[in-house]
Every structure is written in structure tokens, then in C-alpha cells.
Chain A
Amino acid sequence: MSTQAIIAIGVFLITYAFIVTEKIHRTIIAMAGGIIMVLLGVVGQERALHHIDFNTLGLLTGMMIIVAITAETGLFKYIAIWAAKKVKGHPLNILLVLGVITALGSAFLDNVTTVLLMVPVTFSITRQLRVNPIPFLITEVIASNIGGTSTLIGDPPNIMLGSAVKELTFMAFINNLTAISFFILLINVGILAFIYRKQLQTSTELKASLMDLDEKEEITDKKLLTKSLTALFLTIIGFFLHQLLHIETATVALAGAFLLLLLTGEDYLDKSFSKIEWTTIFFFIGLFVLVSGLIETGVISLLANYSVHLTGGDVASTSILILWVSAIASAFIDNIPFVATMIPMIKDMGELGIQNLEPLWWSLSLGACLGGNGTLIGASANVIVAGLAAKEGHPITFGKFLLIAFPLMILSIVICTFYIYLRYLI
């Protein structure tokens, strides 16, 4: 192993350790790690820029602009109240429908954005019904991570996979992950409803008060809603057709975002740009450069070689190993850097002789996305919701979440193991 490779491993591990401890913001650490890789000459600036996946960044940015403008219309409050009324204001059924709505939202929007839209309306509905909001918040967190698993644009690991591997198109994700994700969602939400059924009781008067709400009044700007829904609809159609049209997903998302800005005018330009999560964008940039150091020095190839040696190059064992290692790792560490490291490793496994990489990619996606449900720190949505809940006087402790969510995550991965085995390996 070369000196440069040893330096790359050192910088990578120190950066990773700082990300895990969360003492300093992860974006600062990732960018610092990436810059150190360049400063120490592990990777040159040109090569580092080459490794930054601008498709991932463009897709994230475009979707953030669309969501920022759509959120102004009151659409998400409308949907939540409408759904709560459809189930006659019964708290247990509201838990189920809010879980499903969160999952559907997360399938097409960023998980953090979805929970940020759902949490205020959840507090509002639960306060009116005088029920504990925590079961709803935990359900939404879990549903968000599962829903995000189901599409290419639902969760950053999938966005990265879709960008890095040409064969993993939007439709490929739909064909391979959507059905299994929604099966897992129904199992998870059903179990959560069973666990919390006794806590979710309210009076007939409070239910009647909820049923009397006028959800149509929640739509604050009908013209803006029409424009937002048009842009969102065209963007989603674009995702379905991107392979056929030979355009990247980032082009679709950015086209949708700037079409919407064209329709709304520059009033929304500054506002929507201010809502882009630049910290997330730069976190990705730092990670891409950081991992480029490992790729350029041959460390990733060595790891791939070792993994292939460990499993004897057998697709079945390698897939199951990737699924479980990804899930357990993602329960405790950020799944974005993990996937950023795994993608080049799996590509190298292909070069080392594993012919069929498809089950490996889906195993990585399922493990990394669903693993985030294992602990309170497993995914960004978990951390955000726990922070908001604590601030509002409803703390979700690490232990309380672990007790509920970790067994559910293990159950989900067991289901995925059968799915991967039955669909791809026999």
C-alpha cells in the first residue's frame, strides 16, 4: 500500500469519526476532509472535481426549489386534514393515514422536507384531539424512511445510486423497490398502530370538532397551487421518461424548478433559494472529494478485493452481506457517506468478476435506507423530528425510539433478505 493510500485512509477515518461524534457540523467536517485530501496531494483538484457527482447535486437542488414553493400554498395541511376527516377523526386511523401520506410524500420529496411539512400539522391535529403526538411522530419518521426507499428520488442513497449507475433508472427503482417498500410500510405501520392502540383514544366531541374543519380554507394561494402542481406533475412525468428521453434526473428536476420559477416570477426566486439546504449540498461535495481520495489511491479496490475474497465472489452471500452490513451501519452512522464509499466498492467488485451486480445495488439501497430506522440517529429525518419534538415539550428519547424502531428495522431487513433471495438469487 502506498504512502498516499495510508494518508487517504487516515484522513477518511478521522473525518468519519468526527461525523459520527457530531461535535462539529457534518458539512464543515466533510468539506474540511475533502480539502485536506486535495491539500495533501492525495487527489488533484481536477480529479477531485471530476468525482463530484453534479447529477446528485442538481437533482437535490431542483427538488428543494419545487418543494419550497409548493409548501407556501398550504397543500400539505390540506391533505393531512382532508385525510384525517376521511377516517372520521379516529386517532388510530389518523396515525395510519398520516404514516401512508408521509411515505408517499417521502417517495417523491426529500425525507427531511416531508417530515418538516408533516410535523406541524401533526401537532395541530393531535392537540385538537388531545392525544399524545409521539406515536404519530415515530410513525412518520419510520414511514418517511421506508417511503424514501421506494424511488430514485426518495432518499439521498438512492439519488447517489441512480446517478452512479446508468442501469438504475427511475423506472428500475419503481420496478424493484416500490412494491417491497410499501409492503414493509404496511407491516411497520400496522405494528405501530397495534402497539399504540390504547394511547390513541379521544372523545366524540373532539372528533366532531375535527370533522367540522374546513380544509379548503388551508389553501392560501390557489394560483400558486396550480402552478406548483403543474411543475411537480411535469417533473414526475419527466422522471418516469428520463431514460427514454436520454436525459439525466438532475436535468428533469432543474427543468421543473426553473419552469416553476418562470411561472411564479422572481418574487419566489430569493425565497426558494434561501430554502435550499446548502449545508446538505456542500456535505455531498465534501464526501465526494473525500471518497475520491480512497478511489484514486486504490483503497476502494483493495476493500472490494477483500470482500470478494471473503464471500468467494458468490453473488448471494455478497448481496446478503451488503444488505445486513448496510442496515446495521446505517442505523448508527450517516448512510450518505456509507453509500458514497460503497458505490465505488461494488463497481470494483464487478471488475473483479461478479457478473450480476443488480442484487448488490438493491441490497445496498434497501439496507442503507431502511437501516436508518434502527436508531434515533440513523437518519436525518429521525434527528430533525426528535429535535422538534423535544423543543415542543414531547421528548423522544434514544431508548424509547430504539425499543420500538430497532426490532421493526430488523424485521424489515429480514423481509428484504427473503425478497432479495427470492427475486434475484434463485
Chain B
Amino acid sequence: MRVEYSYDKKLIELKEVLNGNDIEFFITLFNSDLKKNLMKVRQYFDDNKVLTDIHYYIHPNNHYQVIVRNDFYNEFIIQLFTQQLLKEIKWS
């Protein structure tokens, strides 16, 4: 079961597209203070033993690209929520 989410469009823009079997997120932060929150999401996945759970790419001007392995989709969304980058999540 997957999760649905919503976010504050004044603070963040979030677009997801399919990339092979994985899901690719394009994230733009409108408030630079949120960089550290997104960094914590990355750190969470860096700290586990899986190397291909998410791939995190930093582009200029607070643009981020994250390729999330299909089986880590929910965990990624939950981490975004934990770091207050999402307003709400619910089971779809």
C-alpha cells in the first residue's frame, strides 16, 4: 500500500515521475532553511547499509533530484514528513 501526501507549495515544490522501476523526485526548496531538513533525509538513508535505496543529486539554486528505489518509496515519503517537508501523509 502506498501513501499520499500534501505539502506547503510556498515552501517546496515536489514533482515525481517514473524512472524505470524507480520513482524520481524533483524537489525545489523556496526556503534555504529547509536544506538542512532535506539533508537529514539523505543522512537517514546514508546511515543504513543499503547503497541504492535513494540516489541524491544536488543541482544549483536549491533544486534536488532524488531517485528512490520502488521498495523504499514509502520510507522516503515518511522521512520527508518526519523532517516537516510534507504537511500530511495518509495511506491511499
Q: Which residues of A contact B57 (CB under 8 A)?
A: 124, 128, 209, 213
Q: Is the CB of A128 within 8 A of B52?
A: no
**A285 CB–B CB distance under 8 Å:** no
State whether the Cβ of A130 lies closer than 8 Å to any Cβ in chain B.
yes
Q: How far is the CB of A107 from chain B (nearest CB, A)?
A: 24
Interface flag for A167 (CB, 8 Å)? no
Flag whether A399 is at the interface (Cβ < 8 A).
no
**Chain B positions 39-85 with a Cβ under 8 Å from a chain A Cβ:** 39, 49-52, 55-60, 65, 67
Write out the residue numbers on chain B whose beta carbons fall within 8 Å of the beta carbon of A220: 39
In angstroms, Cα B65 to Cα A127, docked, is 12
B67 touches A128 (CB 8 A): yes
User: Are B67 and A217 touching (Cβ within 8 A)?
Assistant: no
Asked whether, in the complex, the Cβ of B60 is within 8 Å of the Cβ of A127, the reply is no
Pick the residue among A127, A130, A212, A213 that contacts B52 (CB under 8 A): A127
Known: A209-B65, A392-B50. A124 touches B55 (CB 8 A): yes
User: What residues of B have a CB within 8 angstroms of the CB of A124 in the complex?
Assistant: 55-57
The one of A127, A213, A391 in contact with B67, judged by C-beta atoms closer than 8 angstroms, is A127
> Min CB distance, A299 to chain B, in Å?
42
A213–B51 touching, CB < 8 Å? no
Determine if A214 is an interface residue (Cβ-Cβ < 8 Å). Answer: yes
* A-B interface pairs (CB < 8 A), number: 37
Give Cα A217 to B39, complex, Å: 11
Is B55's CB under 8 angstroms from A218's CB?
no
Closest to B61 in A: A214
Chain A residues within an 8 Å CB radius of B65: 128, 209
Q: Which chain B residue shows the least CB distance to A210?
A: B57
The answer to whether B51 touches A120 (Cβ under 8 A) is yes
In the bound complex, how far is the Cα of B88 from the Cα of A299, in angstroms? 72
Q: Please determine whether B51 and A212 come into contact, CB atoms closer than 8 angstroms.
A: no
Instruction: Judge whether B59 and A388 touch: CB under 8 Å.
Output: no
CB distance from A396 to the nearest CB of B (A): 14
**Residue A265 at the chain B interface, CB threshold 8 Å:** no
Q: What is the predominant secondary structure among interface residues of chain A facing chain B?
A: helix
Q: Are A392 and B51 in contact (CB under 8 A)?
A: yes
Binary interface profile of A, 369-404, with partner B (CB < 8 Å = 1, else 0)?
Answer: 000000000000000000010011100000000000
Q: How far is the CA of A209 from the CA of B50 in the complex (A)?
A: 24
Please tell me if A239 contacts chain B, counting CB pairs below 8 Å.
no
Contact A213 B55 (CB under 8 A): no
Q: Please give the distance in Å from A13's CB to the nearest CB on chain B.
A: 36
- A213 CA / B51 CA spacing, docked (Å): 19
Q: How far is the CA of A123 from the CA of B50 in the complex (A)?
A: 11
| Contact in complex: B52, A123 (CB < 8 Å) | yes
Contact call B58/A213, Cβ cutoff below 8 A: yes
Contacting B at CB under 8 A, from A21-76, are none
User: Which of A123, A127, A214 makes the CB contact (< 8 A) with B58?
Assistant: A214
Cα distance, A235 to B50, chains bound together (Å): 33
- Which residues of chain B have C-beta atoms less than 8 A from A120's C-beta? 51
The answer to whether A123 and B67 have CB atoms under 8 Å apart is no
Interface residues of A in 210-227 (CB under 8 A from B): 212-214, 217-218, 220
CA–CA, A209 to B58, complex, Å? 10
Contacts of B20 in A (CB 8 A): 130
Distance in angstroms from A423 CB to nearest chain B CB is 42
State whether B59 touches A393 (Cβ < 8 A): no
Look across to chain B and name the residue whose beta carbon is closest to the beta carbon of A388. B51
Residue on A with the closest CB to B49?
Answer: A391
- B51 and A214: CB pair below 8 A? no
Q: Shortest 8 CB-CB distances between A and B: which pairs? A: A217-B58, A392-B52, A124-B55, A127-B55, A214-B60, A120-B51, A214-B58, A212-B59
Identify the A interface with B (CB < 8 A): 119-120, 123-124, 127-128, 130, 209, 212-214, 217-218, 220, 388, 391-393
| 13 pairs from A and B in contact (CB 8 Å cutoff) | A124-B55, A127-B52, A127-B55, A128-B55, A128-B67, A209-B57, A213-B57, A214-B60, A218-B58, A388-B51, A391-B50, A392-B51, A393-B52
Residues of B whose CB lies within 8 Å of any CB of A are: 20, 39, 49-52, 55-60, 65, 67
